[in-house]
Structure 1
Amino acid sequence: MRRVVVTGVGLVSPLGPDRESGWRALTDGCSATDPDGGRAPLADDGAPRAVTLALAAAREAWIDAGLANAAGLAGERRGCLVSSSKPLPPGAPGESWRAPDEVPAAVARALGAEGPVMNLAAACATGAQSLLAAAGWIAEGRADVVVAGAAESALHPLYRAGFAKMGVLSKAGRVRPFDRARDGFLMGEGAAVFVLETAESAAARGARVWAEVLGGDFSSDAHHATRFNGNGERMAASLARALKRADVPPDALDYINAHGTATRLNDALESQALKKVFPRNAPPVSSTKGATGHLLGATGAVEIAFALLALRDGILPPTLHLDRPETPDLDFVPNRARRAPVRRAASLSYGFGGALSAVVLGRNS
């Protein structure tokens, strides 16, 4: 199996229209959540909003990878797995019909990807599972370079009403992951896109490597349409499998970007899962949703981007609005970013329907 590395990162979120502005806002402790939905500061261009976000992030990642003039890279060896989980159904008020694969198709056209192109929908684990599936394409030789990630703009009243009916939106208007007073999330939009390729091809063209995709897991809780198993066992098993496949002992992990939705059930189960995998000396864990809101299908990709930036800069992003941790023996990096050596990091994503994802990344040596 071929080793897979990340050579380009593009990011758009409510915190900023590009990677560096968003990261700076996050580490400065800014929050861009909005009860009406946190919009990314990116102008509309007439295209469907998720396509606009995806293309902005994809172009940033492509340039970052040094591939803007990659004439020697055959188009049929370029793949695209930039996904969106929530295209609006036909007849949604104020919306026209959209193809389920409009996001990856638009990115493929923009970057000349004539190899495998696919949309993968796994609710809020969409971005993470897209990256892992794309890494599999490269490892198995189906493509040499894959643009992977997710984009989502699901701020339509139809989705907001659904989440409100489920009781998972914050009535207080503040996203407080892992806090005793948490009462749900606020929705947002965004995109994160990565350029993945083999370690050998990156070295051959002298590309900067952000990190290696050391391993991961995407699986299913297979328990309930909107609730996870009541003791966090499947969440724990997913992370344990990812660490084993990455050949990273639990005590060698330096940082975890948690799913941390600030809902009563998710954060309790996720904390239990972390304590199962790390019964002693858990690494620092933070949820960045207090800053971005919940970006739904894009959230896993955006949080992987934050994990990559933590690896690059040795900065742990904070869990905002955390005053009274429900699990005080876990280090949630409360309210302020912190400098720390980060060589290996994980990002966790979970989705309604039972989707589980864990991605393990290692800084390039």
Structure 2
Amino acid sequence: MSRSSHRDDFFQTTASLEESNRKASKSRNTNGNPIKLQSKILAVAADPVNSGSIYVAESAGTVRRVILETGEISAVFKGPTAPLTSVCFSPDGKLVFAGCWDKTVWSWDVTSRQPKQKYQGHTDFVKSVICARLAGQDVLISGGADAEIIVFSVSTGERLHVLKGHARGIQDLAIDPASLDLDSSKLVLFSAGSDREIRRFDIPPGAGDLSTTEPLTEHETSVYKLFFDADADLWTASADKTAKCLVRENGWKADLALEHPDFVRDVVVHEQGGWVITACRDEEVRVWNKATGELFHTFSGHFEEVTGLLLLGSTVVSVSIDATIRQWSLKPDELRRAKEESEKKKSPSEEDGEPKVESMLTEEEERELAELMNDDD
């Protein structure tokens, strides 16, 4: 009888071996026209000057600019020796920032790719970064695993404010778009934490006292992502396996919950098509009807957890710790075609709701049979 000769197999359970084999098999799919990079991708951001490019933050400590049409790496920003968790740009697009596991925020000149100022103050990983203009001054806002949010002056690196309130680490930051329209003398910042809370902070220019409100607690556990839609309502993604819409006019109460089989890592809204798109730890990218909350289609292709989404026109860009970038079309004809092709791949028994016929072999017997079938001897 054929036996595995791979040394590592002796230290893995049957379940872990099967999972490794499943991922290895799935990794060969070409769904979403994958662009393969060198390490896990932890965050994605749009190129502020070129709609055909994106920036990604990698676990290898690099930021890369990738041309989506060709997969070409057009710029690499180096320096950190620890994973980069997040990426953003200065309002004029001349600087790129990345939060790092080394407890700092790195910055580079976009044109020269040379490292610029490092922003220090956190005592644990930096998990999220965002940049904005406040009363004529560019400010960088970072959230850390130390449960603190720091507001820096971009030009000087000075810490203008330290925002406290969360009991556990910060997962994401988002600026309320309504504050940009109504009052340029302050920013309204929303923060999501591992303590399940979403908090609001009013940030004035310069240094000074800050005000916060009672936290929003619409989720059962960690909130990973925040996204404001065109109505300035707040969409959230959580480890409680839901994405929710928190309605501004209803005191930020949830009026829609999208149920998932695993942690929801990101959420974006495609206004033109009326779609909500979510990224899940189960490797899938899902498209939901925004009005009804019904699942319309699931894009399958990633073979590890999906870590981020980006909308570029009618294209959803997804990134994953499988080190690939994938693109999915939301154009009506192409989305409908993708749904039809997905349904055709289902077996008749699945479509009729009948149970699949289970193998009479044990898992070990199936594996040994597969080895025998592939044995050239």
What is the TM-score with the length of structure 1 in the denominator? Answer: 0.32
Higher strand residue share: 2
Higher helix residue share: 1
User: Relative contact order (alpha carbons < 8 A, sep ≥ 6): 1 or 2 greater?
Assistant: 1
Q: Which has the larger radius of gyration?
A: 2
